[in-house]
Structure 1
C-alpha cells in the first residue's frame, strides 16, 4: 500500500501520484534553531533584525533598522559558527514530533540573499544599494551564500532530508521586484551555488517565492529547482504549467485572492476553490496542495481551513482514479 511519503515524492518529482498530497499534512519539517533565536539583551536575531509577530505572521519592526549603510554589514551580520551547534540534539528534538510515513523536509531558509539585506536596511535603501553600492551589496550576498551553502551541508549530514526548502520573495502581486537582468547578474549565480549545495545532499530542492513570479519561473527551473513553492495563481502561471508540464512542480495552487478566500465566503465557494486549484495545476500530477496558510484564528478562518482540508481529502483522493 502506498504511503504518504511515497505519494508525496511522486508528485514532487513531477509524476502522477495516487492522490493530491498536502504540504501541511504530509510532511515532517526541520529548521535549524538559530533562525528563531534572539539575543536576550537586544531582542534581535543574528542579523540584528528585530521582529514583531501577531496572528498573521512575523515581520521586521518598521521602527528599527539593523544598519543604515550596506558598507557596514560586516559589523552587524553575525553568522553563527555552525561547527559549534548541537546538530544531533536539534534533529533529535525535531524527530520526536515526526511521523515515520511523512516526507522529511528541511527548511534551509525562508529569506536569504535578497530579503536579508532588505530586512536589515529597509526596502528603499536595500533596492537603491543595487545601483549605488553594488560592490558591497554583492559582497554581502556572497557571504550569505557561503553561510547557506555550509548550512545545507550540515543539514544533509545530520537530517538527511528528502526535500530541502530554500527561497526568497523576489516578487509581489504585481510581478518581480527586479528587472530580469538584475536578477540574472546579481542574484542568480549565488542562487545556483545554494541550489547545487542542496542537491549535493541527495535532496530535491524546493524554492519558496510568493507573488506573481512572472519570468522567475523559467529562471528557477534553469537553476535546477525541482519544486516551486507558492507562486501566485494567475494566467501567466497557467501558461507556464502548460509550457513546462510535469517539469513545473508546484506547491500551492490555491488562489488566496479568489472567491473562496474572501471573508465570509460560503462553503460551496471555498470547496470549489480547492477543485479549481487541483484541476488547473494538478490534473496530470506535479501538484502538492497548499492553501498558503489561511491567516488568523477567527471563526471564519477556522471554518475555511476545515472546508479546504475536507475537500482536498475527498476531491484530491478522487482526481487520479478517473
Structure 2
C-alpha cells in the first residue's frame, strides 16, 4: 500500500492515483510566521494592511487604508528581511507537527502581486491604478515578486516542500477582474518568475484563484502552473477540464453553492454532491478533492463535513479501482 503522500503526488502529476486524495486530510501545511504577525496595537501587517475577523474568516479591514497614494508604497511596506528569519526553528517546528505519511505543502502567499496593492488602497483605487499609474504599480509588483522569490529559495533550503502554494484572487463570480491584455503586459511576467522559482527548488507549483477564472486557466498553464486550486466549479471550468484532461490538475471540485452546501442539506444530497464532484473533475485522475474551506463550524456544518469526508473515503477509493460502491 502506498502512502498518502505518494498517492497525492500521483494526482498532482496528472496521474490516476489509487484513491482521490484530500487537500484537507492528506497534507502538512507550512506557513511562514511573518504572514500572521501583526502589530498588537493596530492589527496591521508588514504592508500596513489591517486584518479583522468576520464570518468569512480573516479579511482586510475595508475601512482602513494602508496608504493614501500608491507612490507611498516604498515607505509604507516593511518587507521582512528573509535572510534574518529563524528558518531552522520554523523548519523544526513544522517537522515536529507533520505526518511523514502526508504531502508537504509550503504556503508562499495567498494575497500576492494583484491583491496586496488593492488591500492597501482599496478596490476602486487599486483597479484604477492599473490604468492611471501603470509604471508605479509595476514597480510595486516587481518588489513584491522579488520578495516572494527570495522566500521560495529559503523554502528550498529549509522546508523541502513537495508543493509550493501561491496565488491571487484575480477573478470574481462573473469572471476575471483584468483583461487578457493587462494579464500579458503587467502580471504574466511576474507570476511566471514566481512559478519558475518554485520549480527551481524542485517543487510543484499550485496556484489558488477564486471566482470564474475563464481565460486565466489557460494563462496559468502557460506559465507552468502544475496544480490549479479553483474552488468555484462552473461550466467554464468543466469545459477546460474536458479540453486539457490530466494536464489540468485541480484542487477543488465540490460545489459550495449547490444544494449540498445549504443549511439543513440531507445526508443523501451531500453524499451525491461528492460523487458528482469526482465524476465531473476527477473521473480519470488529476483531482485533489477540496470542499472550498468555507463550511463553517456549526453543528450543521460539522455533520456536513463528516458526510463529505465519509463519501470521499468511500466513493473516492472505489472510483479508481472499478469496485462497486
**TM-score surpassing 0.5?**
yes
Q: In the TM superposition, what is the alpha-carbon distance from 1:70 to its structure 2 partner?
A: 0.4
What aligned pairs does 1:1-322 form with structure 2 within 5 A after superposition? 1-322=1-322
Q: In the TM superposition, what is the alpha-carbon distance from 1:259 to its structure 2 partner?
A: 1.5
1:321 aligned counterpart, secondary structure: coil
Cα distance in 2 for residues equivalent to 1:231 and 1:225: 16
Cα distance in 1 for residues equivalent to 2:184 and 2:8: 31
Q: In the TM superposition, what is the alpha-carbon distance from 1:295 to its structure 2 partner?
A: 3.3
Q: In the TM superposition, what is the alpha-carbon distance from 1:200 to its structure 2 partner?
A: 0.3
1:221 aligned counterpart, secondary structure: helix
Paired residues of 1:56 and 1:295 also in contact (CA < 8 A)? no
Paired residues of 1:171 and 1:212 also in contact (CA < 8 A)? yes
Alignment coverage as a number of residue pairs: 322
More displaced stretch, 257-266 vs 111-120: 257-266
Cα distance in 2 for residues equivalent to 1:184 and 1:311: 41
Paired residues of 2:231 and 2:291 also in contact (CA < 8 A)? no
Cα distance in 2 for residues equivalent to 1:206 and 1:296: 24
Cα distance in 1 for residues equivalent to 2:248 and 2:49: 34
Paired residues of 2:3 and 2:101 also in contact (CA < 8 A)? yes
**Structure 1 residues without counterparts, runs of 5 or longer:** none
What do the CA deviations read for 1:216-244 (whole angstroms, capped 9, x no partner)?
00000000000000241111111101110
CA separation of 1:222/1:173 partners in 2, compared to 1, >3 Å: closer, same or farther? same
What do the CA deviations read for 1:39-95 (whole angstroms, capped 9, x no partner)?
234321000011101353111112110011001100111100011110010111112
More displaced stretch, 34-43 vs 161-170: 34-43
More displaced stretch, 139-148 vs 93-102: 93-102
Cα distance in 2 for residues equivalent to 1:232 and 1:273: 14
Q: In the TM superposition, what is the alpha-carbon distance from 1:166 to its structure 2 partner?
A: 0.6
Cα distance in 1 for residues equivalent to 2:42 and 2:260: 42
Cα distance in 2 for residues equivalent to 1:241 and 1:112: 26
More displaced stretch, 221-230 vs 56-65: 56-65
Paired residues of 2:195 and 2:205 also in contact (CA < 8 A)? yes
What do the CA deviations read for 1:260-301 (whole angstroms, capped 9, x no partner)?
111211111111110000000000000000001133211111
Paired residues of 2:210 and 2:232 also in contact (CA < 8 A)? yes
What do the CA deviations read for 1:187-209 (whole angstroms, capped 9, x no partner)?
01000000000100000100000
1:91 aligned counterpart, secondary structure: helix
Paired residues of 2:261 and 2:295 also in contact (CA < 8 A)? no
